[in-house]
Structure 1
Amino acid sequence: MTSNSCFKIGFILGLVFVCTNAQEKVFNVHSYGAKADGMTDDSKAILNGWRDACKWNGKATLLIPLGEYMVNGAIFKGPCNGSAMTFEMKGVIKAPTDPKIFCNEYWIRFQYMNGLKIKGHGTFDGQGACAWGKHQCATPLPFTVGFYFIKNLIVHDIHSNNSKGVHINVFNCTNGFFRHVKITAPDDSPNTDGIRIGYSNNIHIVDSNIGTGDDCISMVAGSQSINISGVTCGPGHGISIGSLGKLSKNDVVKDIHTKNCTFINTQNGVRIKTWASSMTGMATNITFEDIIMIKVSNPILIDQQYCPTGNCKKQGSSVQVKEVTYKNIRGSSSSKVAVIFDCSDSHPCNGIIVKDINLVYNERDGPATSSACENAIGKATGIELPPNCLKKS
């Protein structure tokens, strides 16, 4: 049958026209020898299926049916011949536990494509417990899924469990949409960021649940036009911008909008962090609004003395933080100091706008919350709990 051809089915009351499109094709990895027994390495079978799907001159779907697929590592490369590629995952893809792979940068990687959809209610299982605390490499533990140099990316209804390192790494991508993504790892799992974004623009993350041992979402250098909405974060370190200014000059993060999110028992809520160094950079045009905090240790935080190792040289950060708005943020803080603006003395935070902040502290030693400001310039309006400490511009 040729493309877009039709056939007729006769009924007593009339005719129904059924059209097919031969340009759409499904490539089932079982046809390529995938065992789906959770033990056999199915990497070759899945990559061979991808190879043929990528060659197809039309819409192609690589189908991962129900079952458990052991994959020791895979790079899904483009560009592809068709108009769009779909990776439909219904089963579970499991990472190996062999320590030999702990020093690899990645586990699963998609790259150099225009038009990619990942869907199917399946799960990437990083089996990270075998690696946490046992890492002896110069490089970080491998991320679970990486998207590199991709335009027009859609990821929805996918789970990622127990990544060895970062769960989802987005690098140099344009026009990305993540929806109904569920990411889980224990709160003590090291460096298991949920979604990390760098050098990418127009990325949307909506209606998702992320609980990890590190940032739920982190936006590092080059992140622009990022929109986050309807995300529940916890456990974890919150939603973070940075860190900026550690190794490279002119790190920039701008045009970030986080709205309608909930943080539950997280270490931080909404955070901007920069290293105290001579490296220049900027974080600007950032909005956090309509946020609920539930027993969050640091609900609102700008930290320009970021130094997780504790042995950094004390100096002013050269990264400029400006034009940051906090609006309608409410709930509870598990520490008395609910708002911290610890800004650089050489590059003070400018244009900080705080409106309708209502964060209470309900522990035994008192109901009051407080704020702490260093070199932070801006204005506050509406509800001020804790009381505002900004310097007026």
Structure 2
Amino acid sequence: MGLKLNIIFMAALFGLILDSSNIANSQILRFEATDNGAILPQSDITQALLKAWSNACASTSPSKVVIPNGIFKLSGASLEGPCNAPIEFNLQGILQAPPADANFTGGDTWVAFEYVDFLTVSGGGIFDGQGKPTWGKDCAKDQYCGNLPINVRFNYVTNSIIQDVTSLDSKQFHINVLGCQNVTFQHVKIIADENSPHTDGIHIGRSTDIKILDSNIQTGDDCISLGDGSKHITIAKVTCGPGHGISIGSLGKYPNEEPVNRVDVKGCILKNTKNGVRIKTWPDSQEGEASDMHFEDIVMENVGNPIMIDQEYCPWNQCDSQLPSRVQISGVSFNNIRGTSSTALAVKLICSGGLPCQDVEMTDINLKYSGEEGEITSECKNVKPTVSGIQNPPACVTIEA
């Protein structure tokens, strides 16, 4: 037993993904979340789950918390570590959040995993946020959506893997990643209607070595969004759409934001999204940096604004758009971006007049306009990209602020 645990810990130490198969051959202690009186489907499983997690987390051997097939109510759960050994949350059934009407005020968290090392979330089950009744609220005017629960939070989780689970109809973000390190999401599904506001699929902030692989995200906001402090992020073989695309930012709204560095987006497909791949910062912003960001082998299918840098991002006119952004963008490459654009303006690189973008490369851009009238075009402002290979639309002419 001791030798097998040492193997697991050494694998994670060297940055390898903790696969549940690594501990499958060990003696795993199993804790059924339905063993404590919440056995029937449609029961409230909250107290049983918290007790099962507490017992599993206290185990000195690898453990597994199992939620079997069926539909179970869950009012909310903070599943906290640190735990004494690797732990798996095995969701086979459906967890349902409390239903909500338009006046719902349930707080900003439904399920949270916090301060856990060597966590596996798996099982093929569904986190059902039951968010549809809340989506009609006008969040832009009163910021009400900020008080709605995120389906699943990962706070300060390390050396972990989340795989083969679905997030459905969240009331706000589906998955939020904060302060995490060496965490992989793979074979994850995220599903919500195109008209669901503020339902970002996966939002990452102040986290390092995060991978999102082989996943499918359909939602009403950004499929994936990266906040400040996102470093060494890999997004590969993700299918996105509907939604607002894959976004870095928005950045610069708050003081003391941490730099964004080393982001690789590759081999992804975007379908019928409002935007493609973009970097966005606020004008009149706080100081910040975003560097070493690369978008490669991306297929666009009827996508609006397929390639975008927007340093004049100012939704709902909540800023002074006349003052330049103070976020320095540098080291950006767009390589082998192809497909169709639903907007005539397919490439839009709008950089800061105070801190023009540096070291931007455009290689083999081949986009066609899917509209009936007009020609596909590009626009640049405060940036002089280096271009090579195919350039369709033709490379843009730089406009100084």
Q: Find the partner of 1:24 among 24, 28, 39.
A: 28
Instruction: State the match for 2:94 in structure 1.
Output: 92
Q: Distance in 1 between matches of 2:145 and 2:167?
A: 25
Question: 1 or 2, which has the higher strand percentage?
Answer: 1
Q: Deviations over 1:28-61 (max 9, x none)?
A: 11212223422x3210011111111111111000
Instruction: State the match for 2:46 in structure 1.
Output: 43
The residue type equivalent to 1:107 in the other structure is W
Question: 1 or 2, which has the higher helix percentage?
Answer: 2
Query: What SS does the aligned partner of 2:273 have?
Result: coil
Contact 1:379 1:391 in 2 (8 A): no
CA displacement at 1:133 relative to structure 2: 2.5
Contact 2:284 2:319 in 1 (8 A): no
Q: Distance in 2 between matches of 1:86 and 1:70?
A: 20
Instruction: State the match for 2:301 in structure 1.
Output: 294
Percent of matched pairs sharing the same residue: 44
**Residue 53 (1) aligns with residue 61 (2):** no
Query: What SS does the aligned partner of 2:48 have?
Result: helix
CA displacement at 1:249 relative to structure 2: 3.2
**Residue 67 (1) aligns with residue 70 (2):** yes
Q: Distance in 2 between matches of 1:63 and 1:177?
A: 21
The residue type equivalent to 1:96 in the other structure is P
CA displacement at 1:21 relative to structure 2: 7.4
The residue type equivalent to 1:356 in the other structure is D
Contact 2:81 2:116 in 1 (8 A): yes
Structure 2 matches for 1:1-393, cutoff 5 A?
Answer: 23-38=27-42, 40-82=43-85, 84-98=86-100, 102-134=105-137, 137=144, 139-314=146-321, 315-366=323-374, 368-389=375-396, 391=398
Q: Distance in 2 between matches of 1:342 and 1:78?
A: 44
Alignment RMSD: 1.9
CA displacement at 1:305 relative to structure 2: 0.8
Contact 2:36 2:48 in 1 (8 A): yes
The TM-score normalised by the length of structure 1 is 0.91
The residue type equivalent to 1:374 in the other structure is K
- CA spacing shift, 1:139–1:123, aligned 2, 3 Å: same
Contact 2:196 2:220 in 1 (8 A): yes
Q: Distance in 2 between matches of 1:138 and 1:389?
A: 38
Q: Distance in 1 between matches of 2:145 and 2:268?
A: 35
Contact 2:100 2:131 in 1 (8 A): no
Farther-moved stretch of structure 1 (70-79 vs 138-147) = 138-147
The residue type equivalent to 2:338 in the other structure is R
Pick the structure with greater CA Rg.
1
CA displacement at 1:121 relative to structure 2: 0.3
Q: Distance in 2 between matches of 1:192 and 1:21?
A: 38
Contact 1:102 1:131 in 2 (8 A): no
CA displacement at 1:113 relative to structure 2: 1.1
CA displacement at 1:216 relative to structure 2: 0.2
The TM-score normalised by the length of structure 2 is 0.89
Number of residue pairs matched by the alignment: 373
Q: Distance in 1 between matches of 2:316 and 2:208?
A: 30
CA displacement at 1:196 relative to structure 2: 0.3
Q: Deviations over 1:295-329 (max 9, x none)?
A: 00110011111111124212100001111000000
Stretches of structure 2 lacking an aligned partner (at least 5 in a row):
4-23
- CA spacing shift, 1:185–1:138, aligned 2, 3 Å: closer
